[in-house]
Structure 1
Amino acid sequence: MSDIDEPSTGEPSPPEGAPARPGLSRRALLFGGIAVGGLAALGGGALVYREIRRSAGPEGTWVKLSPIVPVPDALPREQSPAFEEAGTETTVAVWAHADDDIIFANPHLSTVIASGATLRTIFVTAGDAGRGLAYAQQREAGIRAAYDMMRGSTAPWQTREITLLSGARVTRFVPSDDPRLSVTVLRLPDGNLSAKGFPSTGDAGLTQLINGIVPALKPIDDGPTLDAGRLSDTIAELIHAAGADRITTNIPHESAFARGDHPDHSCVGSLVRAVAPAVGIAVDAVTYYIGYPSQHEPANVFGTELDGKVDVYETYAAHDPVVTCDGPAACLAQPGFGQWLRRSYAKGDAELRLA
């Protein structure tokens, strides 16, 4: 939320500032996991209700971010346990949260999958919003369902835990009938719209890690802790292990387009931008997608492309109890999401308007 701090009760907020569904149902009166029936007890009920009713989407807090250090200066000498067979025109997509891709990078994402190209997706945080692993796993299930819709198959996905050369432990999902696709999750704690994290995960996230406020982050699935160096090594190892030809990711913090974006988006974009050269990815082979601030740009997704994008999002949202929407019209009526679904803005490095 743009002008509301985390409620004093410690109740978790929804992922990436996700608003409630419009309407008067009980689910519609949820925002940040807080029932409107309990707003009076929070003392800020009117303010929260205004956020529910407003038509604009949420905006994240802009916090100064330190440079990404250290950055890997050499590729691993041995093959990573996360190695994936090289494919055709391999894109490695690195995102902060499960749904960033289907909201901000579609319809391009659907085009990549339909083309037969290879796509390796990495989600850095759990997008848990302080709600715990079970909620994060619901979001992951939603992403797999969304990918199933885009690839036209519902064959089961295989799951494997991998300990990397960096020491990190990740979970990887691969469709049993389509090895050119994979989804890998690190499950680091969600940093919150405030960039202050959530009480249930130690009030810490990527912003605090990069800025040196905390020495390390603990994944919410109890994997090994990651300090800043190990996180950079992990991102580099996963990109290299996938044999990336291209990378897509969030807008980096140093871009003017990051103002008002979710802090986690900015952190991931900056991590990827710093790490990409270490794994041999040319500057012009990285594409960055505008996040929350895209709502201020003209709509540019229309017709059948918009229909397809909304169908994919609705499929995901059916697994995410915070943003579930009953039909395309309801999805497009959601504050924030409705604007983002109608837009998709990709930027090359030269277009980032770097500060």
Structure 2
Amino acid sequence: MSDIDEPSGGDPARGGDQSSRKSGLSRRTLVFGGIAVGGLAVLGGGALVYREVRRAAGPEGSWVKLSPIVPLPESSPGATSPAFEQPGADTTVAVWAHADDDIIFANPHLAGIIASGATLRTVFVTAGDAGRGLEYAKLREAGIRAAYDDMRGSSEPWDEKQITLLSGARVTRFVPSDDDRLSITVLRLPDGNLSAKGFPATGDAGLTQLINGTVPALQPIDDGPTLDSGRLSQTVAELIHAGRPDRVTTNVPHESAFARGDHPDHSCVGSLVRTVAATAGVAAEAITYYIGYPSQHQPPNVLGADLDAKVAAYQTYAAHDPVVTCDSAAACLAQPGFGQWLRRSYPKTDGELQLH
């Protein structure tokens, strides 16, 4: 879930009482990175905009029309990718917009995959950087690795390597040194912002502008090769195909009724996966889409021990993300937006997306 800024042309994002998030933070002015901005703090990379700290609802993203994504030729992705990973038993390839989408929206299913001994290949398309740069993005990546360690019960180090794909994209892959059935691959494209307008630090551009053709290409924040929309589709298809999945999980796509109010990056990634999956050898019925921000409007359905484990993994992640750090399970559950999402997880099949 990344950066949340105030939408342009829509209702402001809604914040809430942050006093439970960090002990000692009780004043109406919020501070991040040494910068206080009156009664309004714009916090990125998983945080909320807190306009009125007493309001408790989670955010809603701007609704921006998205151009149809052009399907890839049926022959794509073709040759064996340098990103190829040996398929294991019951392989899932999970493609998400931001580091933490999976632990918030797809748990407890995510933890179940890991606990079962099945194979999980995770891909994060954007850096979730909120315009704060590569070092902040790397903190989020470290947090996700720590959350996976929490779920798998190991703290052994992760190996890291860069891979140049057939598409021309460059990705960074992390694999636990003691468990190669898991991997995390990051593309590090710039965060698109809750407003779908990007951030000044990354050229006011993100996935929405790329897909809509208002920018010709995006530059990853780690200075990897630029990607136009066609190359991005090829990259996502190649990474899915490289995992040889039995099933795929991802964000809800833009064309679903459940995408209204979601982060625009979530919708873009869901639509990309839905469009390119067939050329990656994945049937529509093998894809599961998880509702993002709008899940807060559904009844709570993660309870008891499942909720405890889900919050523990999130708290482990949040300890690495200075924007959303919470020092107890109760504090994590009290975070506006996050508390609602943690108590919910709503998967949808293609036939349940309510497409428009």
Match of 1:22 among 19, 22, 29: 19
Structure 1 partner of 2:201 = 200
SS, match of residue 191 in structure 2:
coil
Task: Check conservation: 2:98, 2:126, Cα contact below 8 A.
Answer: yes
Question: Structure 1 residue 330 and structure 2 residue 327: aligned?
Answer: no
1:103: Cα distance to partner?
0.1
User: 2: CA distance between counterparts of 1:41 and 1:95?
Assistant: 29
User: 2: CA distance between counterparts of 1:137 and 1:101?
Assistant: 17
RMSD: 2.3
Task: Check conservation: 2:105, 2:341, Cα contact below 8 A.
Answer: yes
Task: Check conservation: 2:171, 2:185, Cα contact below 8 A.
Answer: yes
User: 2: CA distance between counterparts of 1:266 and 1:304?
Assistant: 30
User: 2: CA distance between counterparts of 1:352 and 1:25?
Assistant: 43
1:38: Cα distance to partner?
2.8
Structure 2 partner of 1:11 = none
1:25: Cα distance to partner?
3.4
Task: Check conservation: 2:140, 2:317, Cα contact below 8 A.
Answer: yes
Structure 1 residues 168 and 176, CA gap change in structure 2 (3 angstroms): same
Structure 1 residues 246 and 40, CA gap change in structure 2 (3 angstroms): closer
In structure 1, the gaps of 5 or more residues are 7-15, 43-47
User: 2: CA distance between counterparts of 1:352 and 1:307?
Assistant: 29
User: 2: CA distance between counterparts of 1:174 and 1:325?
Assistant: 27
Structure 2 partner of 1:9 = none
Structure 2 partner of 1:163 = 164
1:54: Cα distance to partner?
1.2
Percent identical pairs in the alignment equals 72
Task: Check conservation: 1:21, 1:28, Cα contact below 8 A.
Answer: no
Structure 1 partner of 2:45 = none
Structure 1 residues 265 and 278, CA gap change in structure 2 (3 angstroms): same
SS, match of residue 53 in structure 1:
coil
In structure 2, the gaps of 5 or more residues are 42-48
Question: Structure 1 residue 74 and structure 2 residue 75: aligned?
Answer: yes
Task: Check conservation: 2:77, 2:237, Cα contact below 8 A.
Answer: no
Match of 1:4 among 3, 6, 11: 6
Question: Structure 1 residue 143 and structure 2 residue 144: aligned?
Answer: yes
Structure 1 residues 266 and 17, CA gap change in structure 2 (3 angstroms): farther
User: 2: CA distance between counterparts of 1:145 and 1:71?
Assistant: 35
Structure-to-structure mapping, 1:3-152, within 5 angstroms: 4-5=6-7, 21-23=18-20, 25-26=24-25, 33=32, 37-39=36-38, 49-152=50-153
Provide, for residues 190-232 of structure 1, a one-character-per-residue CA deviation record: whole Å limited to 9, x for no partner: 0000000000000000000000000000000000000000000
SS, match of residue 178 in structure 1:
coil
Task: Check conservation: 2:30, 2:37, Cα contact below 8 A.
Answer: no
SS, match of residue 37 in structure 2:
helix
User: 2: CA distance between counterparts of 1:130 and 1:194?
Assistant: 13
Task: Check conservation: 1:18, 1:322, Cα contact below 8 A.
Answer: no
SS, match of residue 322 in structure 1:
coil
User: 2: CA distance between counterparts of 1:41 and 1:104?
Assistant: 27
SS, match of residue 38 in structure 2:
helix
SS, match of residue 192 in structure 2:
coil
1:120: Cα distance to partner?
0.1
Structure-to-structure mapping, 1:258-273, within 5 angstroms: 258-273=259-274
**Structure whose residues are more often helix by fraction:** 1
Task: Check conservation: 1:2, 1:61, Cα contact below 8 A.
Answer: no
Which letter does structure 2 place at the counterpart of 1:353? Q
Provide, for residues 95-141 of structure 1, a one-character-per-residue CA deviation record: whole Å limited to 9, x for no partner: 00000000000000000000000000000000000000000000000
User: 1: CA distance between counterparts of 2:135 and 2:313?
Assistant: 22
SS, match of residue 166 in structure 1:
coil
SS, match of residue 53 in structure 2:
helix
Which letter does structure 2 place at the counterpart of 1:54? R
Which letter does structure 1 place at the counterpart of 2:245? A
